[in-house]
Amino acid sequence: MTEVESVKIESPRIGVFVCHCGLNIAGTVDIEEVVKYARTLPDVVYAIDNRYTCADPGQKEIREGIKEHNLNRVIVAACSPRMHEPTFRKTVSEAGLNPFLFEMANIREFCSWAHGSKKEAATEKAKEIIKMAVAKARFLRELDTFKVPVINKAMIIGGGVAGIHAALDLADMGYKVYLVERDESIGGHMAQLDKTFPTLDCSICIEGPKMVEASRNPNIEILAFTDVLNVDGYIGNFKVKLRKNPQYVIADNCTGCGECVDTCPIEYPNEWEMNLGTRKAISVPFAQAVPLIYTINRDHCIECYKCVDACGDRQAIDFEQKPEEIELEVGTITVATGYDIYKPEKEGLYGYTRYSNVITALELERLINAAGPTGGEVIRASDGKHPKTVAFIQCVGSRDVNKYEYCSGFCCMYALKNSILIKEHWPEIEVYIFYMDMRAYFKGFEEFYRRARELGINFVRGKPSEIIEDPKTKNLIVRTVDTILNEPIEFEAELVVLSTAAVPISGTKELSNVLHVTTGPAGFFLESHPKLKPLDTPVDGIFLAGACQGPKDIPYSVSQGSGAAARAARILSSEKWEIEPIVAVVDPEKCKNVKAKCAICLKSCPYNAPIIEEGKPARINPAMCHGCGTCVAECPSDAITQMHFTDAQIFEQIRAALEENAENKIMAFLCNWCSYAGADLAGTSRFEYPPLVRAIRVMCSGRVDRDFVLESFRLGAGMVLVGACHLPTDCHYISGNWKMKDRMEVLQNMLEKIGISKERLQVAYISAAEGLIFSKLIKEMAQQMEDIGVGKIKAENEKARPIIGNMLARKGLIEKKTE
C-alpha cells in the first residue's frame, strides 16, 4: 500500500441516503431496518430514506443533509453507479463537497431486483452492500478532474443515411468532419432502395440531394474507399490511422464524364445491384454515386488501356496508384456502419440460390427500381416473365432462436411496401404475405397496413416449413400451416421473396476491436445504456448512429445521426474537456526503477502512460492514463495507486464484506464495463440468483491484485470470482483482461499448493449483454460451494490462513500481530 492511500481521512462524517425507488427496492428490501443498521456503522452520523433519491426532493435532502450535519462523505444506496453516479456526484458538489467523496451502494440491480423472492436475505445483503460502501468511503479522498484540450474535428465512420445526417449536422454547426466510407460511394442501403415506406417517396430522390450536399459542404471531407486501421487516444484527442485504397483514378483529374466506361470492353456482376446487373471494369457502382470517381477493378481489368486513351489529356487514370495511409486527429468519432442482410446461401434455405425464382427483398428492391437492372420490371430469372403470383416470406432467419433471435424491425413494413408497389404497377398479380406477426407500430404504419389489405393483398399467418420447385414450370410450392385456420396448406407461387434478417455488417467485430467498443449478443454495436445513453458507447467521445446498433428504419437512423451529432457537439464545442481523475500515481519512495530499471508498469500499460527515465522513479502521464489500474496490480513493489480505487479502499471493502459468514459468500471483483454491467443486466432482467455475492467494482479486471484474492481467502471467503470482459479483444482497456488472466492462473496454482481447492477461485468473462450468463454462473458457483461443503472450506481456509497472513504482513498489507 502506498503512502498516498494508507491513511484514513481524519474525522469522516458520513451520511447515508437509502432510496426506496418506489417499490423497486422497498418492495423487497426492508428500508427501515436498513436505515437503522446504517446508523450503527462507524463514522455514519446521519442516515435517512427517500422515496426517489434521484428526483429533485431526494437531491435536495442530500444537499441539506450535507449542510445541516456537516457531512464530508455521502453514500447513496440505490441503483447501479452506472446509472446515477454522475447525477449524485453533481448533487454533492452543488453542496460544496468534492464529487469524489461520494460513493454508491448498488442495492437495486445487485440486490432487490436480483433477489425479489428472498426478502429477508435481500435485506441482509443490502445492509452489507452499504457496509462495504461506508468502509470505502472512510478512505475516500478529494480528487480534482483533469482538463484536456479538445480537437474540434469529428470523424464519422459509415456514409449511409445515418452517417450523412450526422456529418451534415456537425458541419452546419461549423465543425470539420471526416466522413469515412469503405465503399466507393456514400449512400448505404438507402441508395439501393426503390421507394420508402410508408410514404412511398423515391428513395434515391430524397437521399441523393443529401449525398450531394455532403460532398459540397466545405466542412465535410468524404474519404471513400477507405478503411479504418487504428484508433488511439481518448475523448477530445483521438489519433486515427486510415488506408485509402487505390481506385487507379486520380480524383482531382476525373471529371466524371464517363467516356472511359463507354470504351471499356469488360463487364462483371455488380454487387451493388445484388449481382442482378453488371458493371464495367472501370465504372461507378451506380449513376448517382458520391463522390463520382471511377474505379478500376484490377481483378477484372485486362489492361487494354482503352480507358487511358478515352481519358486523353485529363490523365486521370493511374495504374501505379498505391494504398495511401492517412493520419487524422479528431475529438469525437461516430460509428454509423449500418447493417447487412442475411443471405441464406449456405443453408439453401427455402431453396435460395438453388431455385432461380426465390430472391431476397433487397434483390426485389433492385428489380422494381426503374433505374435497376431490369428497368423496373419484376420478372422471373427462369423465364424473364412477370409472375402471376408472388409470395413474401417473413422472418427468414429473424425471430429464430437457432439463427437470429431478434426481430429485424423493418421487414414487415418493406414487405407491405413492395406488395403495394407490385399491386399498383400490375394489379393482376396476386400477392401473398406469409407472416408470424405483422408489426406496424410507428407513425403511419398501421394506415399503410390497411392500405395493403384494401388493395387485396392476402395475409397468411404461418411460417412456411419448406418450398419445393416444380422442375417444369419453375413455380414454387410453399408448404405451411395456416395458424388461423389451423390447417396445413400448399400454395403455388411464381416468385418467392424472402424477407431475410438484418445482421451486423461484415467487419463489425474488427472495428469494435479497433475502437474498444463492445458488441452485444447479436453482434451489433452495444450502446452505453439502452435507455439513458442510447447513442453513447462506453468509450467517452465515441458515439453510435443508425442500424449499426441494431435494425432501424430510415427515420430512426436519421434521428440517431442528428442525435449523435448533438452528443458529439457537446464535446467539440468545448475548448477543454474534463476527464475523471481516476488515474494511476506512483509513490517515488517505493518505485524500484531508481536502482534497477524495472519498467513493469510501462510494459503492462497499453497506453504508454508511464514515463521511465534511468535512475529516476517512474511517473505516470495523467493525460495518457486511462485509469484501468493494471499497472497498479502488476507493480512488484506496490508503488502505484489507482485514485478512487486504492488498495486501502478495496481492502476495507473486502473486510466489510467478509466480517460475517464469509465461508458462505462469493467475493466478486467485477470490471465496470462488462461483468459489472452484465450483473446489472441480470438484475434489470430480474434473473434471480442466490444472494451470496458481495461485489466490488473495479474499472478493469486488470486492477484485480492477487492480494485482494489472498485477503479474501485469509478472511474465509467461500469462493472468489474475478469477472472480466471477453477474451481476446473485448477489454475496454485493450489488454487488462489478459494481464489479469495470467496473474490469476499463477495464483490459482499457488493457492492449490497451499490447500485451497482450484474451483474456489474462478475467472469469468461476461459481457455487458450477458445478464443471464451472470445469474447462471452464480447459481453454478453456489452449487459448487455447497458440494465442497462449509466444513471443507473452513478447514482449507484455516490451513492456508497463516501462510497467506505472512505473505500479506510482509508487504505491510495487514498488521503482523494479526497473524
Is there binding between residue 398 and ligand FAD (CB under 6 A)?
A: no
Asked if 135 contacts 653 with a C-beta cutoff of 8 angstroms, the reply is yes
C-alpha dihedral, 733 to 735 to 736 to 742, nearest 10°: 170
Cα–Cα distances in angstroms (integers) from residue 310 to residues 250, 264, 296, 301, 503, in the given order: 15, 9, 14, 15, 42
CB of 363 to ligand FAD, least distance (A): 9
310-349 footprint of ligand FAD as x/- string (CB under 6 A):
--------------------------xxxx-x--------
CB of 498 to ligand FAD, least distance (A): 10
How many Cβ atoms are within 10 Å of 377's Cβ, its own excluded?
15
The residue whose grid cell reads 406469409 is 434
Q: Which is nearer to ligand FAD, 398 or 701 (CB)?
A: 398
Is there binding between residue 362 and ligand FAD (CB under 6 A)?
A: yes
In 224-345, at which residue ranges do the beta strands (DSSP E only) sit?
226-234, 237-244, 267-269, 278-280, 282-283, 295-296, 324-330, 332-335, 339-341
Judge residue 812's burial from the number of C-beta atoms within 10 Å of its C-beta, 0-12 exposed, 13-18 middle, 19 or more buried. exposed
Q: How far apart are CA 214 and CA 7, in angstroms?
A: 58
Q: How far apart are CA 186 and CA 84, in angstroms?
A: 39
Q: Which of 161, 526, 698, 722 binds ligand FAD (CB under 6 A)?
A: 161
CB of 626 to ligand FAD, least distance (A): 24
Q: Which is nearer to ligand FAD, 328 or 763 (CB)?
A: 328
The C-alpha cell that represents 108 in the structure block: 437495486
Helix (H, G, I), strand (E, B) or coil at 180: strand
DSSP 226-260: EEEEEEEEETTEEEEEEEEPP-SB-TTT-----HH
CB of 332 to ligand FAD, least distance (A): 16
CB of 495 to ligand FAD, least distance (A): 15
Q: Which of 106, 196, 237, 357 binds ligand FAD (CB under 6 A)?
A: 196
Q: Which is nearer to ligand FAD, 408 or 775 (CB)?
A: 408
CB of 566 to ligand FAD, least distance (A): 17
Task: Give the chain's end-to-end CA distance (angstroms, integer).
Answer: 18
35-64 footprint of ligand FAD as x/- string (CB under 6 A):
------------------------------
CB of 158 to ligand FAD, least distance (A): 3
The C-alpha cell that represents 569 in the structure block: 457537439
The C-alpha cell that represents 675 in the structure block: 461483468
Is there binding between residue 270 and ligand FAD (CB under 6 A)?
A: no
Q: Which is nearer to ligand FAD, 561 or 736 (CB)?
A: 561
Q: Which is nearer to ligand FAD, 149 or 555 (CB)?
A: 555
Stretch that binds ligand FAD, among 142-150, 320-328, 349-357, 547-555 (CB under 6 A): 547-555
197-226 footprint of ligand FAD as x/- string (CB under 6 A):
x-----------------------------
Q: Which residues pair with 669 in a beta bridge?
A: 696, 722
The C-alpha cell that represents 76 in the structure block: 447513496
The C-alpha cell that represents 808 in the structure block: 500479506
552-571 footprint of ligand FAD as x/- string (CB under 6 A):
xxx--x--------------
CB of 720 to ligand FAD, least distance (A): 40
Is there binding between residue 167 and ligand FAD (CB under 6 A)?
A: no
Q: What are phi and psi of 760, to 5 degrees?
A: -80, -15
Q: What are phi and psi of 390, to 5 degrees?
A: -125, 135
Q: Which is nearer to ligand FAD, 31 or 364 (CB)?
A: 364
Stretch that binds ligand FAD, among 28-36, 59-67, 155-163, 271-279 (CB under 6 A): 155-163
CB within 8 A of 23, min separation 6: which ones?
none
Nearest Cα residue to 564 out of 156, 84, 152, 83: 156
Stretch that binds ligand FAD, among 58-66, 536-544, 550-558, 655-663 (CB under 6 A): 550-558
Is there binding between residue 546 and ligand FAD (CB under 6 A)?
A: yes
CB of 680 to ligand FAD, least distance (A): 27
Residues 708-767 that bind ligand FAD (CB under 6 A): none
Q: Which of 16, 97, 193, 284 binds ligand FAD (CB under 6 A)?
A: 193
Q: Which is nearer to ligand FAD, 507 or 581 (CB)?
A: 507
Cis peptide before 606 (omega within 30 of 0): no
Nearest Cα residue to 333 out of 148, 535, 184, 182: 535
Q: Which is nearer to ligand FAD, 193 or 658 (CB)?
A: 193
Is there binding between residue 291 and ligand FAD (CB under 6 A)?
A: no
Q: Which is nearer to ligand FAD, 333 or 583 (CB)?
A: 333
Is there binding between residue 158 and ligand FAD (CB under 6 A)?
A: yes
Q: Which of 159, 233, 504, 771 binds ligand FAD (CB under 6 A)?
A: 159
In 725-774, at which residue ranges do the beta strands (DSSP E only) sit?
761-765
Q: How far apart are CA 18 and CA 27, in angstroms?
A: 14
Which residue blocks in 306-442 are alpha helix, DSSP H? 306-311, 361-368, 411-425
Q: Which is nearer to ligand FAD, 116 or 530 (CB)?
A: 530
410-439 footprint of ligand FAD as x/- string (CB under 6 A):
x---x--x----------------------
Stretch that binds ligand FAD, among 71-79, 159-167, 369-377, 661-669 (CB under 6 A): 159-167
Residues 171-190 that bind ligand FAD (CB under 6 A): 180-183, 188-190
Q: Which is nearer to ligand FAD, 360 or 775 (CB)?
A: 360
73-78 vs 102-106, strand pairing mode: parallel
CB of 378 to ligand FAD, least distance (A): 14
Q: Which is nearer to ligand FAD, 552 or 626 (CB)?
A: 552
CB of 182 to ligand FAD, least distance (A): 4
Stretch that binds ligand FAD, among 545-553, 585-593, 719-727, 773-781 (CB under 6 A): 545-553
Residues 476-505 that bind ligand FAD (CB under 6 A): 505
Which of left, alpha, beta for 644 (phi over 0: left; psi -120 to 50: alpha)?
A: left
> Quick one: the chain helix, strand, coil %, rounded to 5?
35, 20, 40
Q: Which of 79, 133, 162, 569 binds ligand FAD (CB under 6 A)?
A: 162
* Residue 259, CA atoms < 13 Å, CB-side half-sphere: 16
Length of the chain (residues): 819
Q: Which of 258, 507, 521, 581 binds ligand FAD (CB under 6 A)?
A: 507
Q: Which is nearer to ligand FAD, 182 or 399 (CB)?
A: 182
Q: Which is nearer to ligand FAD, 104 or 292 (CB)?
A: 292
What single DSSP character describes residue 579?
E
CB of 621 to ligand FAD, least distance (A): 31
Q: What are phi and psi of 164, to 5 degrees?
A: -60, -45
Task: Report the amino acid identity of residue 190.
Answer: M
Nearest Cα residue to 583 out of 616, 650, 632, 649: 632
Size of the site for ligand FAD (CB under 6 A): 38
Q: Which is nearer to ligand FAD, 198 or 736 (CB)?
A: 198
Cis peptide before 291 (omega within 30 of 0): yes
What long-range pairs does 810-815 form, CB within 8 A, spacing at least 24? Answer: 811/638, 811/707, 812/1, 813/1, 813/647, 813/651, 813/707, 813/711, 814/711, 814/714
CB within 8 A of 613, min separation 6: which ones?
none
Asked if 301 contacts 122 with a C-beta cutoff of 8 angstroms, the reply is no
Q: Which is nearer to ligand FAD, 160 or 462 (CB)?
A: 160
Question: What residues make contact with ligand FAD under the rule CB under 6 A?
Answer: 157-163, 180-183, 188-190, 193, 196-197, 228, 336-339, 341, 361-362, 365, 410, 414, 417, 505, 507, 511, 546-547, 552-554, 557
